[in-house]
Amino acid sequence: MLPVVLHHGFGLGILRLAGFKYFCGGIDRAIADTGHPLILSRVHPSAGIITRARQLKEIILRQLEILGKSNEQIIIIAHSMGGLDARYMISRLGMADRVRALLTISAPHRGSPYADWCLRNIGYRLGGLRLMRHLHLDVQAVSDLTTESCRQFNEEIADDPRVEYFSISGSRPWNRVPPFALHSYKVIYDAEGENDCLVSVKSSIWGKHLGIWPADHFHQINKRYVLELVEPTGDICPYYVRLLDQLKENGIA
């Protein structure tokens, strides 16, 4: 079976030194139990797409060598910003012949209106970017995730015909997202409609769309901050296993 690379998104990895996991609740074990050799990425949590993509390539090649599978193709499952890293790596860093398929989960392919809001209000008006530069912190990701930056990204970064692209979206009504995410939900809903509190369905569709998960952006990685009393989504692990089944149905194993 092809190795699976599970690639994380923006931000939460900053706590990795404290043993913090991005994909929680046994997602990694659920994928490994299907028989696919598993590679977990660990790139800079808040750097820009180019930096993260270069680090991703290094991790993949190194881990494939350790696994004794240097000549095999891989499947990449990428959450959130990770999907943009993977697309850049495939298109610009000579990895198209190594990737059989890219499956993105709630990736902001067309950017996020909330990134626009944060950059405009926190980055510029409140001087957040100036402070980050003064502290020598790389937060290029915030700029890279705006709708304008992603529009330019899509004009410049073409899909490679050797790779098959799939996507999953996420969506929940406002009363079933974490309270701390209500503001981002509303900003995105007013601009683009249905969303998971950080990325809209419209923005997340890329390649062959495999469906919409009834989960907010955090629940998609098994970080559950909402008490589900009615029609619970529950453990997200079976959704990842089903993704691999869907890839098999599309001729990818």
pLDDT digits (tens, 9 = 90+) for 170-208: 999 999 999 999 999 999 999 999 999 999 999 999 999
pLDDT band at 130 (very low <50, low <70, confident <90, very high): low
- What pLDDT does 122 receive? 67
CATH architecture entry for 4-249? 3-Layer(aba) Sandwich (3.40)
User: Domain locations in the chain?
Assistant: 4-249
Among 204, 183, 219, 223, CA closest to 15: 223
Mean pLDDT of the chain: 91
Enter the pTM of the model: 0.93
Query: What pLDDT is stored for residue 126 in this prediction?
Result: 44
Q: What is the pLDDT of residues 105-121, one digit of tens each?
A: 999 999 999 999 988 88
pLDDT > 70: percent of the chain: 90
